[in-house]
């Protein structure tokens, strides 16, 4: 089966810039969640989309935003980048079933200089 695709895999930006990350879930799956992973804070929930609607949002500043398209692809945007935004950004999609477990993409490594 096809997996979760994230692009780009690596990204280097400078402070003050903005960035857009993309996630394409497993074909047919409508739920997409985003997580930020850093050595200090671990894995933190950013937001979740279902059928183009944001269903839940984590405790992140308004500089972090996202959206989902009708084909279930999702993007997250970070504006006015800060050094602390350097992280691995993971996208996960839900596989329908008893456990509704989530499958993760390979992540986008963002480095802010």
60 forms part of the interface with another protein (CB under 8 A) = no
Site string for another protein, 3-42 (x = CB under 8 A): ----------------------------x-x-x------x
Applying CB under 8 A, the span of 15-23, 60-68, 74-82, 102-110 interacting with another protein comes to: 102-110
Exactly one of 55, 63, 69, 71 binds another protein (CB under 8 A); that residue is: 55
Residue span binding another protein (CB under 8 A) among the ranges 11-19, 44-52, 62-70, 73-81: 44-52
User: Is the separation of the CB atoms in 81 and 17 below 8 Å?
Assistant: yes
Q: What is the DSSP string of the chain?
A: ----EEE-SEEEE-TT--EEEEEEPSTT--EEEEEEEETTTEEEEEEEEETTEEEEE-S--TTEEEEE-TTS-EEEEE-S--GGG-EEEEEEEEPPSSS--EEE---EEEEE-
**By the rule CB under 8 A, 90 interacts with another protein:** yes
User: How is residue 93 written in tokens?
Assistant: 């999609």
Q: Summarize as ranges the residues that interact with another protein (CB under 8 A).
A: 31, 33, 35, 42-45, 48, 55-56, 58, 88, 90, 92, 94, 98-107
């Amino acid at each position: 089966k096809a997996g979760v695709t994230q692009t780009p895999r690596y990204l280097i930006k400078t402070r003050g810039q903005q960035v857009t990350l993309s996630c394409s879930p497993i074909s047919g799956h409508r739920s997409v969640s985003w997580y930020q992973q850093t050595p200090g804070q671990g894995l933190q929930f950013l937001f979740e989309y279902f059928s183009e609607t944001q269903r839940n949002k984590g405790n992140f500043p308004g500089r972090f935003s996202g959206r989902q398209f009708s084909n279930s692809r999702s993007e997250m945007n970070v504006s006015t980048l800060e050094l602390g935004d350097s992280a691995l950004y993971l996208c996960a999609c839900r596989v329908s079933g008893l456990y509704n477990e989530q499958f993760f993409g390979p992540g986008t490594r963002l480095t802010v200089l």
